[in-house]
DNA sequence: CATGAATGAGTGTTCATTCAT
DNA sequence: CATGAATGAACACTCATTCAT
């Protein structure tokens, strides 16, 4: 018990986290449909039934996993952008965002798979707050792409959302395949011809 | 019955096809792990057990789905490239290949999802001939990308396989989301700055 | 077709026999409950459904197997006893019967398992004529044992039917295990102290 | 709950036993191949799936049945022989062993069927410890038979293992048929002419 | 908090059986 | 005669879920 009476790391809280982590890695390995509560519980060092003390159902647990993963991804994006000097170019901000997303995919793997998928396997699983976070994240990205297009750093031909989804698809795929975020980021930037990257 | 006595479209063959199609769309919707033989059989207008007259196991059925989808994708690529005049540029051939892949994803949906994934959910499911086809397809693409890089139409910075996988990821993601193949193709070409497409 | 118009070996008759043989060896290997029509048909070089042209059901096929096995066993007993000179002793006839039974078990294996079993696994399978044959066979044996007891060659303590069943159990068990019929016969005779066999 | 806090007869333990018993009687009635988990579960007052809380698979359950049955049979043999005064004859010990075996068959029925069968239907089912127990039991019996033969109480003509298997076959068959162990024992002793039993 | 024990619906798979061809 | 194709019931087994302890 912490001296201030509030134990942020209560036993229950720590168990809950262990379950979340186990669920995330299980999802990463076998997908949402292929993950069983039994395996998750075992990986968390619990018996199956005990999970129900911390989560009301499998769906709710998975929703929590997705939400948390998305939240952390958002945090990474925030950190990356706020770390930038104000007067940076739109291309620079897009570059930073791509890197942040690649890092998120690499770190959180399963947590993030769902971000882009238009109809994620677990769509019905995700709760309202997940959908809000997702919308938030997507909108931020749309803005970044639009800015880059206005700045002339990115082709204005495709509409911003399509460009954004292509970017997500590219980064997610190779990121989940285990590629290094730095490598991914520079490859994408080079292919897009983002200013500040060596032209072909 | 065909006049020569052999009915190429025998009842069994037609049923087999119905099962394959049902399986493909089921996989597209719920993923390999989330697809049940019961649902597939029902969608094909059969009782569950009847599937076993045509396929030895769920694994084998899925392997057949993957293999057939990949084969059709390869055929589309062949058709697209052989339809090109010989003296076309590497950029032109890459453009055609992107379009073919987008069309494949759009037409075959589930059949093609697996092409890129380095460790597709159904990796253990796919048979040797599937792996051969996959290697074939990937190698063809590596060649296309390399040529375009040599020609200067594509940044030479990322290694060819990484560039190829980024392309796949991008096209697969938005293709599965239902975007029109033409739209996808021109968007990708524009973003890559492929010659013959309007710069920003 | 034979010249007399009756083809005892018509194609159908030969197929029927192949099925019976396949069923018998399948039963010998996996027992009644463990034998599948599919495997039997395959062993007979047929597709499963074709069996139904020759037998109305699995039960009927098995009944035919059992009946035929028992009939052949009875024939062996007849041959053994009728081959004996009339004035032979009861002990001699019992000896001959034991040998005949051992030979039957060795030759027919599965066919014969059911003879003794009071509630054979396939009891409900066997038809009325099988039960008649069985009763016939058992009664013949009861007579042989009784005669041997009256003659003093066999202990009169146990009632004849119990003695008979003990004999059956003994011979069946080791016979099914693959022991040579001659070996079995002389071992049993020696243990029983039947006259004409070396005492310990 | 026992006063020491450990309930040796916990609910789970009692259920496990109910399943074992149900399985044994099911095997006795329909054989290993003919026994279904459904029927066993129903007989134990459970739903099918619940069996899997106590046993990992049907095979493992059956192995447990066989092992336990054989162990109890061995215990009965031990008790019977150790209850004998030391200076008893080999014939007397054999007599006691026959009785013990008959009692085991009568009490445990299905549990014991497998003892003799050289290739029991469930051979592949039985685990290593079952095979060890079986070897143990068979060796003990071989010794008993050999001693009786050396003593002259049993014909030395057949080799000891064959004699042993004939005995098993005889006792098992009539024992499973429901005969009284005492009756069986005296019948066998009389037929073998074991000393201390009335000659014919 | 966590477990032991059970459930019912679901999974893939096998089987005996039927019947048009 | 025999097969190709289908069926429905059964099978072993898994899973999410519940609840007394």
Q: Write down which residue in B17, B35, B55 finishes a domain.
A: B55
Whether residue A1 lies inside any domain: the answer is no
Helix axes C181-192, C90-108, angle to 10 degrees: 140
The region, left, alpha or beta by phi > 0 then psi within -120 to 50, assigned to residue D123 is: alpha
Whether residue C143 lies inside any domain: the answer is yes
Encode pLDDT of A112-121 as tens digits. Answer: 655 655 444 5
Q: Are residues C44 and C62 in the same domain?
A: no
**A116 closest CA partner among A64, A79, A170, A65:** A170
Encode pLDDT of B155-199 as tens digits. Answer: 999 999 999 999 999 999 899 888 999 999 999 999 999 986 544
Q: Are residues C92 and C40 in the same domain?
A: no
| Tokens coding C136 | 């016939």
List Cβ<8 Å contacts ≥24 apart for C129-137: C129/C67, C130/C63, C130/C66, C130/C67, C130/C70, C133/C67, C133/C70, C133/C71, C133/C74, C134/C70, C136/C74, C137/C70, C137/C73, C137/C74, C137/C77
| Tokens coding A50 | 């005990």
Range of the domain at A19: 8-55
CA C156, CA C159: separation in Å to the nearest integer? 7
Q: Give D17's contacts (C-beta < 8 A, 6+ positions apart).
A: none
Separation between the CA of A53 and the C1’ of F20 (whole angstroms): 15
Encode pLDDT of D96-136 as tens digits. Answer: 999 999 999 988 876 665 565 544 455 566 678 888 888 89
* CATH number for D101: 1.10.357.10
Q: Coil, helix or strand for A200?
A: coil
DSSP structure string for chain B: --TTS--TT-HHHHHHHHHHHHHHHHHHHHHHHH--HHHHHHHTT--GGGHHHH-SSHHHHHHHHHHHHHHHHHHHHHHHHHTS-TT--HHHHHHHHHHHHHHHHHHHTHHHHTTT-SS-TTTTTS-HHHHHHHHHHHHHHHHHHHHHHHHTSS-SSS-HHHHHHHHHHHHHHHHHTT--HHHHHHHHHHHHT-TTS---
Q: Are residues B65 and B50 in the same domain?
A: no
Whether residue D14 lies inside any domain: the answer is yes
Q: Kindly list the residues from chain B whose CB atom is less than 8 angstroms away from the CB atom of residue A121.
A: 30-31, 34
C6 pLDDT higher than 60 = no
Strand ranges inside chain C, DSSP E:
none
A108 pLDDT higher than 50 = yes
Residues in chain B: 200
Whether residue C198 lies inside any domain: the answer is no
Q: What angle do CA B65, B70, B73 make, to 5 degrees?
A: 130
Encode pLDDT of B108-129 as tens digits. Answer: 776 665 565 544 455 566 678 8
Mean pLDDT for C95-102 is 95
pLDDT tier for residue A123 given thresholds of 50, 70 and 90: low
Q: Are residues A65 and A87 in the same domain?
A: yes
| Tokens coding A79 | 């950190």
Whether residue A198 lies inside any domain: the answer is no
Q: Are residues B14 and B109 in the same domain?
A: no
CB atoms within 10 A of CB B42: 14
B169 neighbors A172 (Cβ within 8 angstroms): yes
Encode pLDDT of B70-108 as tens digits. Answer: 899 999 999 999 977 766 899 999 999 999 999 999 887
C116 neighbors C172 (Cβ within 8 angstroms): yes
Residue keyed to tokens 């309007």: B198
Separation between the CA of D47 and the C1’ of E8 (whole angstroms): 9
Q: What is the pLDDT of residue B29?
A: 83
Residues in chain C: 200
CA A50, CA C148: separation in Å to the nearest integer? 73
* Gap from C92 CA to chain D (nearest CA, Å): 17
Q: Are residues C51 and C150 in the same domain?
A: no
Q: Coil, helix or strand for C6?
A: coil
Whether residue D90 lies inside any domain: the answer is yes
* Gap from A199 CA to chain B (nearest CA, Å): 6
Q: Are residues D34 and D87 in the same domain?
A: no
Residues 160-179 of chain B with CB under 8 A from chain A are 162-163, 165-174, 176-179
Instruction: Indicate the range of B85-94, D82-91, D190-199 predicted with least confidence.
Output: D190-199
**A99 closest CA partner among A70, A120, A79, A71:** A79
Q: Are residues D119 and D23 in the same domain?
A: no
| Tokens coding D150 | 């050396």
Mean pLDDT for D181-187 is 97
Q: Write down which residue in C55, C70, C86 finishes a domain.
A: C55
Handedness of CA C167, C169, C174, C176 (dihedral sign): positive
Q: Coil, helix or strand for C84?
A: coil
pLDDT tier for residue B39 given thresholds of 50, 70 and 90: very high
Q: Is the CB of A167 under 7 A from strand E?
A: no
Whether residue D81 lies inside any domain: the answer is yes
pLDDT tier for residue D3 given thresholds of 50, 70 and 90: very low
Q: Are residues C112 and C13 in the same domain?
A: no
- Report the neighbours of C using a cutoff of 3 or more CB pairs below 8 angstroms: D
Q: Do D173 and C169 touch (CB under 8 A)?
A: yes
Residues 104-133 of chain D with CB under 8 A from chain C are 116-119, 121
| Tokens coding D30 | 């329909």
Q: Are residues C111 and C24 in the same domain?
A: no
Q: What is the mean pLDDT of chain C?
A: 85
Q: Write down which residue in D17, D35, D55 finishes a domain.
A: D55
pLDDT tier for residue C112 given thresholds of 50, 70 and 90: low
- Count up the domains in chain D and report the number: 2
**B154 closest CA partner among B184, B195, B187, B185:** B195
Whether residue A168 lies inside any domain: the answer is yes
Q: Are residues C50 and C116 in the same domain?
A: no
Residues 132-161 of chain C with CB under 8 A from chain D are 149, 152-158
Quick one: DSSP state of residue C48? G
Alpha helices in C83-159 (DSSP H): 90-108, 110-113, 128-151
Encode pLDDT of C12-63 as tens digits. Answer: 889 999 999 999 888 888 888 889 999 999 999 999 999 999 999 999 999 8
Buried b (16+ CB within 10 A) or exposed e, C61-81: bbbbbbbbbbbebbebbeebe
* CATH number for D11: 1.10.10.60
Quick one: DSSP state of residue A195? T
Separation between the CA of B53 and the C1’ of F18 (whole angstroms): 39
Nucleotide nearest to D16 (CA to C1'): E5
B97 neighbors B80 (Cβ within 8 angstroms): yes
pLDDT tier for residue A5 given thresholds of 50, 70 and 90: very low
Q: Are residues B20 and B32 in the same domain?
A: yes
CB atoms within 10 A of CB D183: 14
CB atoms within 10 A of CB A43: 15
């Amino acid at each position: 018990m912490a001296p201030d009476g509030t134990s942020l790391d209560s036993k229950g809280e720590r168990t809950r986290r262990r379950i979340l982590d186990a669920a995330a890695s299980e999802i990463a390995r076998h997908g949402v449909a292929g993950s069983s509560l039994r395996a998750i519980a075992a990986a968390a060092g619990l018996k199956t039934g005990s999970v129900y003390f911390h989560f009301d159902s499998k769906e709710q647990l998975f929703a929590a996993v997705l939400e948390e993963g998305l939240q952390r991804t958002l945090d990474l994006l925030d950190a990356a952008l706020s770390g930038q000097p104000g007067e940076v170019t739109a291309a620079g901000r897009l570059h930073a965002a791509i890197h942040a997303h690649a890092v998120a995919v690499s770190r959180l793997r399963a947590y993030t798979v769902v971000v882009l998928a238009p109809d994620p396997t677990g769509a019905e699983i995700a709760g309202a707050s997940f959908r809000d976070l997702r919308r938030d994240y997507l909108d931020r990205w749309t803005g970044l792409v639009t800015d880059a297009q206005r700045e002339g750093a990115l082709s204005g031909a495709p509409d911003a959302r399509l460009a954004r989804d292509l970017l997500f698809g590219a980064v997610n795929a190779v990121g989940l395949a285990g590629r290094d975020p730095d490598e991914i980021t520079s490859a994408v930037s080079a292919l897009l011809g983002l200013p500040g990257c060596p032209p072909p």
